[in-house]
C-alpha cells in the first residue's frame, strides 16, 4: 500500500515538474517579445493550474470539477490585469488569452493527459510565433493608423484629404478640436504600410502641416 502511495506521489511530482517545463516554454516566448506577462508568470500559471487540478481530483472525489471550475474564474481575473488601453488600441489581449490557454495546459497535465498538454503547448507556440508573420503580412498590406494633424485653417482639411488620396490612403475623421490659433483633427487612415511612410515624409516637408502625431 505504501509502495502504491509513493508511486502515486512520484507521478504527481513528475506532472508538476512537467507543468513547470511547459509553462517555461510559453513564458520564454512571451519574455522574448517583452510582453507584460513573462517567464515567471506563465510558469506559475501552468504550475498552479496543474496543482489545483491534482488537488481537485484528490480532495473533491465526489465533485472533482468544483475546484477545477474555480481555476478558470481565477485566471479570468489574472488575465484582466494584463489588458490595458494603448494610444490607438487595446493591448494585452493576446497575453491574457495566452494565460488562459496556459491554465488549460496545466489542468491537462494535472489530470494526467500529458499528450494533450504537449499538443496544446506546441499549438500555443505555433500560434504565437508562426502566425506573427501572417499578422505582419496583413499589417503591411492593410495598415490602420490614427493621425493627429494640426493645421491653421478649416480650409486645410480639404488639402489634407488631397494628401491622403495622393498617398493612396483612405481617410475618416475621428475627432476635431478647434481653437483660435489652429484646428486639430484626428484622422483614421487605411492603406499599405509603405504608403503611410510616404505620407509621413510628405507631411514633414509640408508648410501647411503645423504638427502631427500618430
- Write out pLDDT tens, residues 80-112: 777 776 655 667 778 888 888 888 899 889 888
The CATH number assigned to the domain holding 180 equals 3.30.70.260
Are residue 41 and residue 92 in the same domain, yes or no? Answer: yes
Is the pLDDT score of 71 beyond 70?
A: yes
Are residue 208 and residue 152 in the same domain, yes or no? Answer: yes
Determine phi and psi for 85, rounding to 5 degrees. -90, 125
What pTM does this model have? 0.66
What pLDDT is attached to residue 188? 92
Are residue 99 and residue 21 in the same domain, yes or no? Answer: yes
What pLDDT is attached to residue 62? 66
- Closest residue by Cα to residue 165 from 199, 128, 213, 200: 199
What distance in Å separates the CA atoms of residue 64 and residue 81, rounded to the nearest whole number?
28
- Closest residue by Cα to residue 88 from 18, 145, 10: 145
Q: Between the CA of residue 79 and those of 1, 95, 119, what are the distances in Å?
A: 42, 8, 22
User: Which residues, at least 6 apart from 153, have a Cβ–Cβ distance to it below 8 Å?
Assistant: 183
Estimate to the nearest angstrom the gap between the alpha carbon of 60 and the chain centroid: 34
Are residue 115 and residue 20 in the same domain, yes or no? Answer: yes
Are residue 94 and residue 177 in the same domain, yes or no? Answer: no
* 114-142: pLDDT as tens digits: 888 899 899 888 888 877 777 778 778 88
Which of 9-23, 81-95, 190-204 shows the lowest per-residue confidence on average (mean pLDDT)? 81-95
Kind plus residue range of the DSSP H or E element containing 182: none
Are residue 165 and residue 126 in the same domain, yes or no? Answer: no
What share of the chain has pLDDT > 90, as a percent?
Answer: 15
End position of a domain, from candidates 139, 163, 194:
139
Are residue 82 and residue 42 in the same domain, yes or no? Answer: yes
What does the block give as the cell for 135? Answer: 499578422
Q: Between the CA of residue 165 and those of 118, 159, 168, 200, 202, what are the distances in Å?
A: 50, 10, 5, 13, 13
Amino acid at each position: 500500500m505504501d509502495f502504491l502511495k509513493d508511486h502515486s506521489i512520484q507521478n504527481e511530482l513528475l506532472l508538476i515538474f512537467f507543468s513547470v517545463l511547459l509553462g517555461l516554454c510559453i513564458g520564454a516566448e512571451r519574455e522574448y517579445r517583452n510582453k507584460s506577462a513573462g517567464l515567471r508568470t506563465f510558469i506559475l500559471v501552468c504550475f498552479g493550474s496543474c496543482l489545483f487540478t491534482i488537488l481537485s481530483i484528490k480532495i473533491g472525489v465526489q465533485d472533482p470539477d468544483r475546484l477545477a471550475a474555480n481555476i478558470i474564474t481565477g485566471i479570468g481575473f489574472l488575465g484582466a490585469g494584463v489588458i490595458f488601453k494603448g494610444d490607438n488600441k487595446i493591448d494585452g489581449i493576446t497575453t491574457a488569452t495566452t494565460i488562459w490557454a496556459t491554465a488549460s495546459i496545466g489542468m491537462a497535465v494535472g489530470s494526467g493527459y500529458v499528450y494533450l498538454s504537449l499538443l496544446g503547448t506546441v499549438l500555443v507556440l505555433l500560434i504565437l510565433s508562426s502566425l506573427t508573420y501572417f499578422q505582419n503580412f496583413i499589417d503591411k498590406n492593410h495598415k490602420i493608423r490614427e493621425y493627429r494633424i494640426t493645421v491653421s485653417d478649416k480650409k486645410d482639411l480639404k488639402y489634407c484629404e488631397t494628401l491622403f488620396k495622393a498617398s493612396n490612403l483612405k481617410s475618416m475623421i475621428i475627432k476635431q478640436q478647434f481653437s483660435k490659433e489652429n484646428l486639430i483633427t484626428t484622422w483614421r487612415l487605411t492603406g499599405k504600410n509603405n504608403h503611410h511612410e510616404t505620407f509621413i515624409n510628405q507631411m514633414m516637408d509640408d508648410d501647411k502641416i503645423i504638427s502631427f502625431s500618430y
